[in-house]
Amino acid sequence: MARRQTPLRVIPLGGLDGIGKNMTVFEYGDDMVLVDAGLMFPDDEQLGIDLVLPDYTYVLENEDKLRGIIITHGHEDHTGALPYLLMDLTRKVPIFSSRLTLGFIQGKLDEHRIKNPKFKEVKDGSHITLGAFQIDFFSMTHSIPASLGVFMRTPAGTVMHTGDFKLDQTPIDGVRPDYSAINRFATDGIDLLLSDSTNATRPGFTPSEAAVGPSLRHIIKNAPGRVFVASFSSHIHRLQQVCDASVAVGRKVVVTGRSMITNTKVARELGYLKIADENIVDAYDVEKLPDEKIVVLCTGSQGEPLSALARMANGEHRSLSITADDTVIISATPVPGNEKSVQGIINSLSKIGCTVFDKSQTLVHVSGHGSQEELKLMLAMTHPRNFMPVHGEAVHLRAHARLAREVGIPESNIFLMDNGDTLELSGGKARIGAPVDSGVVYVDGLSVTDADPVVLRDRQKLSQDGIVTVVATVSRRGHKVGDVEISMRGVSFANDDALVSDAQDVVRGQVAKVSDDNYAIETLRKSIRNGLSNFLWNRTHTRPMVITVVMEV
């Protein structure tokens, strides 16, 4: 009987239920490599949650195997969980990524006071060995410079992970996808491809980042007053185009917004963003220049209420304001869920009377993710034996699977996975293995805990109908009631004195109802709560949370 070969196990811990918290485990025998460690921003349902992380229990349980962490690029959905993971690991694990990505990560680790991370810079063409893994890095184009794809060889097979990508033939920094490396790996044979699914429902080819240049230049050149450009602060190619257009027409660039200041600083220091010092002006010095000599690069392209753009639009920025003669370019697209916030800012700007350009009227933004033709091209170039669409919501993963079938990958070799599922690769064949612990972890203040649905349900209820707290003092033997105090928060009837007084009577009535014989403080508490809840429903048709405290005196 043939002894079963050790398989290469591929385990996505995040990234398969939305755009966010990307993290994939690659495990062969006693060696484990992690690709990406991202976070997700909470949605409207996750009330009061600061950040959402993938549950990486499996990584911690196998910490002794972990040979290295690879980060494909510097977006937070690929790097944001790293500070938490590093704090949870008991030893320093090397982190491999490009210079810019490591620069961005350094800033995040500094905020968390994580000292001396073990950074290992890699780039297009780098080759490293991590236990049984032979790993090659290759350039990819995306909406952040220095993005890398990864090719891994193990005794059980080979895997390519594209990272996030588009196929941009005219990238701003001249660094094209390394087609020659991709095709070399393909010639060697790719047993499994993991590829970015973000735009798998979008037909055609995503335009080059260079396509937005002419619109930006045109607007900046012809604007009568100041020009404000809101964009993602990590989108260095976009910022470079804005800087170039500004300098070309003799305008100085002002940078405002915390992450915009931090990221442009890092990118300039590391040589990724090129603009001479004399063309950068401090926000406090801006009044010395005429308006038509100024371009302001700012945060706020997602309508974030505390961002520089929001504060300027609402007249709350310390040093900068927007007037009717100014022009605002929103050089981004709203992330799903942010549409209404962005529209709110556009309304505020409209009231000021300034001219607003967004992607609905002008080509001031293009996506950083490849569309269907690029995804099919990647599949055709790599002709993998097996395929796992990653980085997307259910609809995108399934659309990507359809594209794979179109280019000839057999249905049985396409794996639609969930977070925590494992794919076992061996001898060119892939099969689903036993799943591992997975899920999400919430960061809520200092607490980093398993998602607790009770807390969120309580917050949901509190946010809808508010809370009523009733404190009743009773005599030791039960039904003699003393003071009844009622406080309310977030209820629509807080100022209705008659109602409050009636509610106190209801509480006294409930206490009186409980006889000496079967007196128990818990029974009393519950009957007060139920009596008060029913009273409030009948009188107000709302169901606030009712907290009852019974004090025996």
Residue list, annotated binding site: 365-369
Rounded distance, CA 215 to CA 438, Å? 45
Q: Could you give the C-alpha distances from 5 to 9, 94, 428, in angstroms and in order?
A: 12, 28, 12
Tokens of 363: 């080509």
Pick between residue 4 and residue 476 the one whose CB is nearest to its own copies: 476
Torsion, Cα 297 301 306 308, to 10 degrees, reads 10
Catalytic annotation, pick one of 142, 235, 237, 369: 369
Rounded distance, CA 517 to CA 302, Å? 63
Pick between residue 269 and residue 485 the one whose CB is nearest to its own copies: 485
Among 252, 442, 503, 510, binds its own copies (CB under 8 A): 442
- Among the residue ranges 255-263, 282-290, 455-463, 508-516, the one whose residues contact its own copies (CB under 8 A): 455-463
Pick between residue 184 and residue 402 the one whose CB is nearest to its own copies: 402
Q: In this structure, how many other beta carbons lie within 10 angstroms of the beta carbon of residue 176?
A: 16
Report if residue 459 touches its own copies, rule: CB under 8 A: yes
Among 82, 356, 378, 417, binds its own copies (CB under 8 A): 356
Closest distance to its own copies from the beta carbon of 529 (Å): 12
Task: Give catalytic status of residue 369 as yes or no.
Answer: yes
Report if residue 533 touches its own copies, rule: CB under 8 A: no
Each residue 305-344 as x (binds its own copies by CB under 8 A) or -, in order, gives -------------------------------xx-xx--x-
Binding residues for substrate: 365-369
Report if residue 462 touches its own copies, rule: CB under 8 A: yes
Closest distance to its own copies from the beta carbon of 230 (Å): 16
Contact between 226 and 327 under an 8 Å Cβ cutoff? The reply is yes
Task: Give catalytic status of residue 437 as yes or no.
Answer: no
Tokens of 398: 């399934």
- Exposure class string for 375-402: b at 16+ Cβ within 10 A, else e: bbebbebbebbbbbbbbbbeebbbbbbe
- Among the residue ranges 77-85, 220-228, 231-239, 349-357, the one whose residues contact its own copies (CB under 8 A): 349-357
Closest distance to its own copies from the beta carbon of 206 (Å): 15
Among 211, 280, 377, 471, binds its own copies (CB under 8 A): 471
Pick between residue 17 and residue 124 the one whose CB is nearest to its own copies: 17
Catalytic annotation, pick one of 136, 191, 196, 465: 196
Among 455, 479, 519, 526, binds its own copies (CB under 8 A): 455
Residues 474-493 that bind its own copies (CB under 8 A): 482-483, 485, 487, 489-493
Question: How many residues lie near its own copies (CB under 8 A)?
Answer: 65
Rounded distance, CA 275 to CA 423, Å? 46
Contact between 163 and 140 under an 8 Å Cβ cutoff? The reply is yes
Pick between residue 397 and residue 436 the one whose CB is nearest to its own copies: 397
Residues 393-432 that bind its own copies (CB under 8 A): 393-395, 397-399
Among 129, 170, 319, 447, binds its own copies (CB under 8 A): 447
Closest among 333, 328, 404, 403 to 368, alpha carbons compared: 333
Report if residue 500 touches its own copies, rule: CB under 8 A: no
Tokens of 520: 């128990």
Residue type, 122: V
Closest distance to its own copies from the beta carbon of 197 (Å): 11
Torsion, Cα 367 372 373 377, to 10 degrees, reads 100
Closest distance to its own copies from the beta carbon of 542 (Å): 4
Q: In what order do the strands lie in the sheet with 467-474?
A: 481-489, 467-474, 545-552
Q: In this structure, how many other beta carbons lie within 10 angstroms of the beta carbon of residue 209?
A: 25
Report if residue 60 touches its own copies, rule: CB under 8 A: no
Angle formed by the axes of helices 258-269 and 99-111, nearest 10°: 140
3-state helix, strand, coil in the chain (%, to 5): 35, 25, 40
Closest distance to its own copies from the beta carbon of 157 (Å): 28
- Among the residue ranges 8-16, 25-33, 94-102, 444-452, the one whose residues contact its own copies (CB under 8 A): 444-452
Residue type, 84: Y
Residue type, 254: V
Regarding beta strands 31-35 and 23-28, do their DSSP bridges make them parallel or antiparallel, or are they unpaired? antiparallel
The size of the chain, in residues, is 553
Hunting for tokens 């429902």 — which residue is that? 201
Residue numbers annotated as active site: 196, 369
Binding site for its own copies (CB under 8 A): 43-44, 47-48, 201, 336-337, 339-340, 343, 346-351, 353, 356, 360-361, 393-395, 397-399, 442, 444-447, 449, 452, 455, 458-460, 462-467, 469, 471, 473, 482-483, 485, 487, 489-494, 539-542, 545, 547, 549, 551, 553
